[in-house]
Structure formats: C-alpha cells, structure tokens
Homo-oligomer: A and B are copies of this chain.
C-alpha cells in the first residue's frame, strides 16, 4: 500500500557560518555553526512511497549515476507539477537512495516540492528543501524518528545546513570530524527572542558556484585556517548574546561572519565571487542605517543576497530603506520560526 506525507520545512540564516567541510558528500562541517530558523521562507515537499513489485530496495549506490530506481521528482508550480531539472532530480534521488538503503525499504518514491522563495540564490533553499524531503520521506516510510536522527539524515543529503532546519528558534550544529555528533541542538526557542530577517533580494537566478563546490574550495584559502581559529571566540559571543537576548552584542559578530564567508571565498584557489553590485549597495545602506541610529546588521550566505537582521521596532525602517534601492528586486520580511511541520495540503 502506498503512503504519503507532506512536510513544510523552513530555511535558516546562519549567524556563525558553516563554511568548508570535512566531508562535503556527508555534510560534515569543518566548524560549528549557529542559525536562526526562519518562518515564511519554507520548502514544502510531498513524498509518496510505493511498494516495489520486485521487492528490491535501492540500487544506485551513493555517488554513482542515479538512474536505477525510477523515482519521480517533480517541481510543484502554479500550473501544476512538472519534471524537475536533471541536476536537481539527481541530488534528490541520491538522498532517497540513501534513505531506502538505510531503512531497507523496497519502495519507489514520487516527490513534489516547491519553495516559497527564489531557489539557488543564497537563500538556503537546499537547507529547507532537504529538511522537508527528509521529514516527508521518513514519514512516508512509516517511521517515527527522534529529532537528532532526523537532523543527521537531513545533513547526510550533502546540505549540511539542512541539519539545522529540523529545529525552530536558534540552533547550533557542531562541526566534525566526529560525524556521530553532528546534529542540531536548540539554543533558544522561537518565542524566546523576536528577531527579524529582512531579506534584500538582488538576484534570483541560481548562483554560479554551488555551496557544495564552495565547501570544497574554501579550505584552499590561505586565510581559512585563521578563520577557524577565530570561530571559537565568535561562537562564544553569539551563544552568550542569544542567551542574554543582547542584540547589540550579537549584531557586530553576525555582520563580521557574513563578510568573512566571502573573504575566504574570494581568496580560495580558484577564487569564488558571489557578490553583485547590488550586494555592496545593500551592505553600505545597512552601515548608513546604523549611523542614523537604526540598529540593523547584514549577513550573507554563499550568494549575492543580503539578510538584514534587526529587532521588530526597526523592521519597518529597514524595509522602507532597502525597498528604495534600485538594485533590490524584492524585499522579503521574515522572522524567527518554530521549525518544520507536517501538512495535509499535499502536492501529489
């Protein structure tokens, strides 16, 4: 008998960035990371599990061509579902294969997925996408796993940040190399601290270098080792700021980390450039806002868009100012969210 489940999983914005991996394929980060789970930026994923007639479980081992199992991967859109592009479907099949083998499940999957925000532009679409896929697939298989286990499984998709999207509020993910330890822990709940993330979208096209390729390449930066040495101090500050709800303590570290990710990218061999002209315009505007007494701090993931973190009292001013910039295509207002949920609004 087939079964079906739909999960809604949020994106997250990192205050301390996972950047560089012990093992990219298994999503084992070189360093600990801390993020805020978002509320409105979500991926929705429906998974159907159909029993295989031949009773065999997964065939394509991870890393080989993923053409064996006949899983159907669809993108849900306003005009209905259509087949996903092959590079995208391939990563999803890889992950489904992994789950199938792990749970020895003799099934084929049908998957339909969509995002509430532009994909592939540094808005953590793979984090929310793989978290939603993992949660929906596990439930479609009839399994009930602990959050720790779900976090590990989401990470194993290769999107390490997906491990953080299984929890709401403020979340920490340890670094490797000890893989068993790398699952998300809650630092504070969504209701504990009302922060806002005003996202200035300056490009909605997929970025030129994927985060996965970034994780592989940035360890070649001559500055990478020094970055790792800086992180324990920053991590302690961010934990402390979250515990004390001290925005003035949090903000400067968040902004420093957002820049730092790009500094090691631009000094990698070969270098990676994610910033666009509009990125710099937003960064400059945020510095100007602070000079005017509007406390807001920018951060970026591996892409050109800028997340501006502020308190609720400053949100309207930030939105207003960013919306006036000619290079900003769209302003998305988001905030701390409670984490993933299941839904009965199925996409299949």
Contacts and interface: CB of A to CB of B under 8 A. Distances in A.
A235 interface: no
Nearest to A327: B277
Contacts of A229: 222
Given A222-B230, A267-B260, A273 B283 contact: yes
B280 A223 contact: no
Contacts of A81: none
Tier of interface size on chain A: 20 to 34
A79 interface: no
Interface in A225-243: 225-227, 229-230
A259 interface: yes
B283 A280 contact: no
B223 A263 contact: yes
A147 interface: no
Query: Is the contact region of chain A dominated by helix, strand, or loop, or is it mixed?
Result: helix
Contacts of A277: 277-278, 280-281, 327
Nearest to A263: B263
Contacts of A284: 273
A145 interface: no
Nearest to A255: B271
A302 B4 CA distance: 59
Nearest 7 interchain pairs by C-beta? A277-B277, A223-B223, A263-B263, A277-B280, A277-B281, A222-B226, A226-B226
